[in-house]
A and B are shown apart, each in its own frame.
Chain A
Amino acid sequence: MNALWDNAAFLAEGLALSLGLTVIGVLGGLSLGTALAALRLFGGRAGGAVVDVYVFAFRAVPLILVIFWFYFMVPLILGRPVGAFASAVVAFVLFEAAYYSEIIRGGLASVRPGQMNAALACGMSRVAALRYVVLPQAFRAMMPVFLTQAIVLFQDTSLVFVVSLHDFLTAAAIVANRAGRLVETYLLACLVYYLVCLAATAAVAKMRRSAP
């Protein structure tokens, strides 16, 4: 127990990195993913093709490869080193956006086309129909998948060890080996993952209840 206590700050730093990457990944991925979904909806055939290629490119390869790749790519493009964290952020946002755009597409498709027609028939503009009628329903349908995606992302932050970042699990592994306390450390790691997952689930349930 002492070994864990002594390393609490180190573990907390790892947890902060994991949570930070998750939050940036979700917000950035959601923004870019929404833009991609809009491009697919309103961008005609060419826009749809661009999104198809994008989604295919990121879904076909494992995340760990994307992280690794951007670690070398981003400095090449910018002409200067950007550090492991920045390149990891870019990799996460671009990777998540591919998944979010598909989730949003599925959510919009889950709303019956008659709903759009009913809103249009009342004289509402397409934008108003989306905002007041289609999107609120799509958003509700998407919430559980958003939650799953965020939890998977939180777990996947452990992959940043390939660019020598210390996320929570990497930090725990270092502590476990250094102190020779494998069972206790990994039990604690497990507990932390459960707590984060529980908190996220509770937050989403609250949002679903209070959604307009």
Chain B
Amino acid sequence: MITFERVDKSYGDRPVLREVSLDVRQGEVVVVCGPSGSGKSTLIKCVNALEPFQSGTIRVGETVLGRGSLDARALRRRVGMVFQHFELYPHLDVMENLCLAQRTVLKRSRSAAEERASALLDRVGLREKCSALPAQLSGGQQQRIAIARALALDPEVMLFDEPTSALDPEMVNEVLDVMTALAREGMTMMVVTHEMGFARRVADRVVFMEDGAIVEDCATDVFFGDPGKLSQRAQRFLSKVLPH
């Protein structure tokens, strides 16, 4: 579903992605972890063309990113994204947040868009908040709305960029629960996160990055169950983020 082939990216002289190759199959959940500044967020922002890269190719379904022209908008329609800081539109209420792209991008009628939005609000358990403004919601509620907003466009792939790192600890689980349910339904997901509990329970594979390169890419049970096989750097990282 998503294939990275020798992707390189740099800001000026500073490399941020080095020869990244990675394959995410349909229905697979891949957790990307690693120390901050290792290029995880940049990696998933390349998938929906929010970040340009200098060489290599990324394939998303039929679409090839890299050389030549690309209709970024057509690609983004099929790839949903959830951000660390939610990025709900603060001047619009919850219903309008969920309907804006449905109306402007997919050209759905108001009633069709609202129907889809209501179903998704039910699913994330926030139907009663449809006329609230984002500022009136807790962080966890905002992030669940943001997930619903991305799902409203019926994406084939969902990208999560540290979806719980801006949340108070007691709100982390409500967001992870929604993500877990989504994974169980077979959504293809790339998740940048430090939530190793979520990775262990939900991910099919774990990718560990450092300094812009993929250091480990292995099945979840290998990553957590057999740490002796991992590189020194991945072991050091795990010993820091896992509870003792």
Contact = CB atoms under 8 A, between A and B. Distances in A.
B101 A115 contact: no
B220 interface: no
A120 B51 CA distance: 12
A128 B103 CA distance: 11
Q: Decide if the interface of chain A is mainly helix, strand, loop or mixed.
A: helix
Contact of A132 (B72, B73, B104, B149): B104
Contacts of B100: 122, 124, 132-133
Main secondary structure of the interface of B (DSSP, over half): mixed
Pick the most buried of A112, A122, A133: most chain B CB atoms within 10 A of its CB. Answer: A122
Nearest to A126: B73
A79 interface: no
Interface residues on A, range: 10 to 19
Interface core residue of B77, B87, B150, B153 (most chain A CB under 10 Å):
B87
Interface string B74-101: 1011011101010111110000000011
B73 A125 contact: yes
B50 interface: yes
Given A128-B104, A132-B100, A137-B91, A123 B77 contact: yes
B105 interface: yes
Interface string B57-80: 000000000000000111011011
Contacts of B153: 122-123
Nearest to A113: B87
Contact of B105 (A112, A123, A212): A123
A114 interface: yes
Contacts of B73: 123-125
Interface string A58-96: 000000000000000000000000000000000000000
B68 to A, nearest CB: 20
B193 interface: no
Given A114-B85, A117-B50, A124 B101 contact: yes
Contacts of A46: none
A119 B72 CA distance: 13
A118 B147 CA distance: 12
Given A114-B85, A122-B153, A123-B101, A136 B77 contact: no
Nearest to A128: B104
B48 interface: yes
A210 to B, nearest CB: 13
Interface in A97-156: 112, 114-115, 117-125, 128, 132-133, 136-137, 140
A117 B74 CA distance: 15
B51 to A, nearest CB: 10
A117 B101 contact: no
A172 B77 CA distance: 63
B113 to A, nearest CB: 13
A118 B150 CA distance: 9
A121 to B, nearest CB: 4
Contacts of B81: 118, 121
B83 A118 contact: yes
B87 A124 contact: no
Contacts of A125: 73
Shortest Cβ-Cβ A-B pairs, 10 listed: A122-B101, A118-B87, A123-B77, A121-B81, A123-B76, A123-B105, A114-B87, A123-B73, A136-B91, A128-B104
Interface of B: 48, 50, 72-74, 76-77, 79-81, 83, 85, 87-91, 100-101, 104-105, 149-150, 153
Interface of A: 112, 114-115, 117-125, 128, 132-133, 136-137, 140, 212
Given A114-B83, A121-B76, 14 more contacts: A112-B85, A114-B85, A118-B81, A118-B87, A118-B89, A121-B50, A122-B76, A122-B101, A123-B73, A123-B76, A123-B153, A124-B104, A128-B105, A132-B104
